[in-house]
Amino acid sequence: MGTRECLESRDSRPLPHTRSHLGMTPMLKHPLAPLALSIPFIAALCGCETVFPPPADEFDLWSDAGKGVIDYDLRRLCEQVWEADMRQDPFEATRLGDPRYHGDTPNRFLAAREAHIQRLRNFQRKLTVIRVQGISGDDVLTADLLDQELTQGIQLAEMRLEDWNVDPLAGPPIEVLNLPQIQPTRTERQRSQLVERWRKLPFYLRDSANRLKVGRSYGKVASRTAVEKAIRQVDDILAQDIFDSPLVQVAVGGGHFVELPPGGSVAEIAHHELGDSRAQSTLRKLNRHLGNVERIEAGTKVLIPVEADRLDPEERGEFLANTLDAVENGIYPALQYYRDVLAENILASARSDGKPGLLYIAGGKEVYRKLIHRHTSLPLEECDPRAIHDFGLLEVARIRSEIAALGQREFGTTDIAAIQERLRNDPAMHFKTREEVEGKAVEALARAEKAVGKFFDKLPTANCEVVRIAPHEEKDSTIAYYREPALDGSRPGQYFINTYAPETRTRYEAEVLAYHEAIPGHHLQIAIAQELDQLPLFRRHQGSTAFVEGWALYTERLCDEIGLYSSDLDRLGVLSFDSWRACRLVVDTGIHAFGWSREKAIDYMYENTLLARNNITNEVDRYIAWPGQALAYKIGQEEILALRDQARAQLGEDFDYRAFHNHILENGAVTLPSLRMIMARWLEG
């Protein structure tokens, strides 16, 4: 972005904070029910233990999972539940930086699922006894949150989503291809764990495919578009040269591969790349796949090491050879099997684009209500899709009026269609290159980091970096997402930005997107939560969808009060995002409760948002794959705004943003009813 426009030189008033109709709708007349912890949507159900324990210094960060809990029995239970969570989802453990499970994969067998459910029920029985015996203080909140995690974990496992839900955004192939982004390789033990995990991944992929066959056997299948996208994804993965795969690149240590020319030899490559033909012995140690023959087939890839490689040629060669073998002879064939199951067993039975919702699956209505409960914190008896749908319609209409008013200031028209036409089709509104997309994100993040101190006096110590979404997932991915820092400090928070087809990426939404995903949105909230050392680990690293996404959406408008938006055009980006989230209430319920087709959902969003069509298409496919999750944003935002209104009314001139934000954030991503209780206690003094 260039020099920031002088806001005083034009009519650039902050966006109005018009109170929504949410407080008057039936769905929120009663207190919100707690929401279970927001682990990945298709959660892995169980995991194997690693072959060898971690060194003591690596275990220190994870040895006190019940920290801050006063009651001894509750503390022990927090530790046991955390350990079960990490064993259940070793990929999540690696994302968090827990070194103990880097060599493991989730277990997809039905027996593992049943064992997991039984384990959670046993934990619940222990928690009931602890409550009867009596606890006090913050332990009461910890027990409430733990009970919700256990309840929701049982419900999620009993839904058996992995038996039929095909997820092109975060399904097994994408999970596997993303592992190199989080898999550490610094030490010999970590490299051994990588090879161990890579050799287990074929079983995970095959078992995941077989679960889909089981679902089909009892009449539950995914939507056709989701299956077709997943097939195409795997085809694209397998079409890539194996040496270019991130699954192999993770083992090259910064080196690069070159191709042997026709008639070339290893000695000639050594002379050309390393300046000494005698270095061919080094290349052979690095490239065990070459064998011992002098003349190698033209086109064969040869790894050229970086000069500062931490590993000697023998170590690097062994690591590469083992990794390459695991990918070529294990993971790639398993991906082919996964693809073939989709194409040969699932696709023909998949739900058409005319019937993509849960409504068309046996028991789907009840599953959807439970997923609404899971993601929004609404009590199950209040998870009324009709009430949510109608509230969404009201919000869409309200935001359209704001767009019209801002369109008059920016473009001289209140006609929504004309505003949409200008924003979507004017080349000046879009980026030209991937570098521009990434650069704008970096600049917006830097500006936010400098400005937020006036509204927050507690900021995370972990940094946040901008990262491009990887080529293997960018085409079907959302516009951006956030990944939390590793607790051991090995990885900062990461704001992943989609640079695919930059000419479709809008300039006017770039700032609000950066603030939502990074600072003061997801990174600020999640990284602060991770650093709350006085809390048990599950409260620091997990949390309700409604809180996490509601906070990020709340900060989008907060940034206008901070003064972060460069122009009215960028404020239109804020309204674009707000209308997008309001449309989610309409579209998600429309698809899963009222039988909307995929085309109807896309058309509705195109008519009522400022989003580009490719973004809308991927978003609708996301709602099909993740039922209920998209509802959390608006409901969480409205709760935080209502609490702020209450604090302002009660405190008057004594209201302080920093104090308000401290109390919102200082307990982690709690459930909405817990947040309401926390804020009431603060206001009572």
Tokens standing for residue 181: 């982004």
What pTM does this model have?
Answer: 0.84
- Tell how far CA 538 is from the center of its chain: 18
Using DSSP's 3-state secondary structure scheme, residue 480 falls into strand
pLDDT at 295 (0 to 100): 65
**Pairwise CA distance, residues 444 & 564, whole Å:** 8
Blockwise average pLDDT, block size 10, the chain, 685 residues: 31 42 30 31 31 44 81 97 95 91 94 95 98 95 94 93 92 96 95 98 98 95 95 96 96 93 82 83 90 74 92 96 98 98 97 95 93 87 91 97 96 96 94 97 96 94 95 86 88 95 94 98 96 93 92 97 95 95 98 98 96 89 94 95 97 96 96 92 91
**Pairwise CA distance, residues 256 & 252, whole Å:** 7
Q: Please report where in the chains the tokens 């995370």 appear, as a residue.
A: 460
Looking at residue 353, its amino acid is D
Please compute Rg for the chain using Cα positions: 26
- Tell how far CA 427 is from the center of its chain: 30
pLDDT at 499 (0 to 100): 96
Among candidates 360, 370, 41, 367, which has minimal Cα distance to 223? 360
Buried b (16+ CB within 10 A) or exposed e, 538-555: bbbbbbbbbbbbbbbbbb
Q: Are 534 and 507 in contact (CB under 8 A)?
A: no
Using DSSP's 3-state secondary structure scheme, residue 488 falls into coil
Q: What is the SS3 string spanning 259-311?
A: ECCCCCEHHHHHHHHHCCHHHHHHHHHHCHHHCCCCECCCCCEEEECCCCCCC
**Pairwise CA distance, residues 84 & 89, whole Å:** 9
Using DSSP's 3-state secondary structure scheme, residue 506 falls into strand
Using DSSP's 3-state secondary structure scheme, residue 483 falls into strand
| C-alpha dist (Å) from residue 124 to 31, 128, 212 | 23, 6, 30
| C-alpha dist (Å) from residue 241 to 248, 547, 668 | 10, 42, 43
pLDDT at 10 (0 to 100): 30
Helices within 426-531 (DSSP H only): 434-451, 471-474, 510-517, 522-530
pLDDT at 139 (0 to 100): 96
| C-alpha dist (Å) from residue 567 to 16, 227, 314, 423 | 15, 42, 57, 14
Separation of first and last alpha carbons in the chain: 45
Helices within 351-384 (DSSP H only): 364-376
Tokens standing for residue 23: 């407080």
pLDDT at 140 (0 to 100): 96
- Tell how far CA 606 is from the center of its chain: 24
Classify burial at 11, counting beta carbons within 10 Å of its beta carbon; exposed 0-12, middle 13-18, buried 19 or more.
exposed
Q: Please report where in the chains the tokens 């579209």 appear, as a residue.
A: 587
Among candidates 470, 500, 172, 185, which has minimal Cα distance to 338? 172
pLDDT at 141 (0 to 100): 96
Q: Please report where in the chains the tokens 């055009």 appear, as a residue.
A: 569
The CA-based diameter of the chain, rounded to the nearest angstrom, is: 83
Tokens standing for residue 87: 């064993």
Q: Please report where in the chains the tokens 């018009």 appear, as a residue.
A: 18
**Pairwise CA distance, residues 434 & 438, whole Å:** 6
DSSP state of 349: G
